[in-house]
Structure 1
Amino acid sequence: MGQSSNIMPAYRVMTSALRRINSQLTAAECHGLIAGALNTQSTASITRFFTDDTESLQQDCEFAELISQLVQVSSEGYRDEDFNFQLLLPDDAIPLLERSRALAEWCGGYVMGLLESGLKEFDKLPEDAAEVAKDLVEISQLDPSADAGGTDSDLMQLEEYVRVGVQIIYAELTKDTGRDTNEQDY
């Protein structure tokens, strides 16, 4: 599959669009929510997670386009044979504390997406996927300001763990079981 035909929206562009519609989500949470929901939902049904913003989706074409773009890029990234799934996070020029907070928010959105789309218990997942899911819950609860000793390298390693980990969860939840992923009993 190789390179995605779509491009991930810029973090600041997504942040502006979410502010414009008065959403409580951050750009990182929004993408995490989408990425989590894609494990058990079709791309067409993802917009239901933005039902509070339905009027905004109808009135703000740019926001609707950005959501569609995030869904498409994320879906393609999950299915990419080169494992090119990417997280929507601030770029490296942003201070470490803000980037760390965004990663925690991304993980929180991802976990919310899994739960809202029907995943009932992480313990019912295969061992590797269950461990990653529990780690994502822990990462989502981190307070970056409490650990001022972290480095860019530490954050990059954690981002890579999350990026690979969510692909493991996706692979487990979507592997051919003879049942539609919407019917998985997890």
Structure 2
Amino acid sequence: MTASRISHRDLADTLVRLRAGVSASDLHGSLTGFLCAGGKTTADAWPSALELDAGHAGELLDDAFPRLYRHCREQLDDSDLGFEPLLPADDVGLAERAEALVEWCRGFLGGVGLASAGQAQGELSAEVREIVQDFSTIAASSFDYDDDEEDETALNEVLEFVRVGVLLLYSELAPVPVRARSTAPASRRLH
């Protein structure tokens, strides 16, 4: 069953209501980075695993959080490579969408850091280290806007780079996808 997708706006509204002190893009990036780096958690426990500081602990069970987790996990495990960072809709201004992508990358790096605490950087392949470095560059970026059409194209190119980078990192760093483990036929071989 496919998880019902939560919109950026709905998640942002939930985070404001919970006084969580984090943006929707940052939070989705954090969860994605945590899962990509092999972080272990569940749909109900991930806010604690990511050390999310929400206003009222009882409200962490808000339906938005398990939905976000299930959707993120499904997208990462999607054999059609359908992962997309959770960002504002296309009808939102270019500057706001670009800033959300910067926040998403910051969150992603934080999530990777939480999941891989204690893992030596030398254990990562050169390709993974390069992608992480590129995400760091994006996370530290400040964009200038001169031409809406060119800037829109540039944002889409950066977004596609991030999307593919996430999938590459996930394929190298994360354990076998949940779906592959749960649907794999049992071996008939006897030892």
TM-score range, shorter chain: 0.7 to 0.9
Cα distance in 1 between the residues matched to 2:121 and 2:103: 19
CA RMSD of aligned residues (A): 1.9
Instruction: Name structure 2 gaps, 5 residues minimum.
Output: 177-191
Q: 1:30 aligns with which of 22, 27, 49?
A: 27
**Number of aligned residue pairs:** 168
CA distance in 2 between counterparts of 1:34 and 1:86 reads 13
How does the TM-score come out when normalised to structure 2? Answer: 0.80
Instruction: Give the C-alpha shift of residue 42 in structure 1.
Output: 2.4
Q: Which residue of 2 aligns with 1:5?
A: 2
The answer for the alignment partner of 2:126 in structure 1 is: 127
Code of the residue aligned with 2:28 in structure 1: it is H
Bigger CA radius of gyration: 2
Q: CA deviation at 1:174?
A: 2.1
Give the whole-Å Cα distance in 2 for the aligned partners of 1:43 and 1:138: 28
Once the two structures are superposed, residues 72-115 of structure 1 have per-residue CA deviations (whole angstroms, 9 ceiling, x without a partner) of 11111111110011110001111111100000000000000000
State the one-letter code of the partner of 1:76: E
Conserved in 2, the CA contact under 8 Å of 1:43 and 1:72? no
Residues 6 and 128 of structure 1: CA distance in aligned 2, closer, same or farther (over 3 Å): same
Determine the C-alpha separation between the residues in 2 that align with 1:121 and 1:161. Answer: 25
CA contact (8 A) 1:37 1:46 kept: no
Look up the match of 1:17.
14
Whether 1:104 and 2:105 are equivalent positions in the alignment is no
Shift in Å, 1:118: 2.1
Question: Which structure has greater helix proportion?
Answer: 1
Match of 1:142 in 2: 141
Question: % of aligned pairs identical?
Answer: 26
In 2: Cα distance, 1:103 partner to 1:172 partner: 23
Task: Encode CA deviations 1:144-183: one digit per residue, 9 max, x unaligned.
Answer: 2xx223511110111111011011011101256xxxxxxx
Report the secondary structure of 1:38's partner residue: helix
Residue 60 and residue 67 in structure 1: after superposition, are their counterparts in 2 closer, same or farther (change >3 A)? Answer: closer
User: Which one-letter code corresponds to 1:87 in the other structure?
Assistant: P
> What residue is the counterpart of 2:84 in the other structure?
86
Runs (4 or more) in structure 1 with deviation over 3 Å come to 119-124
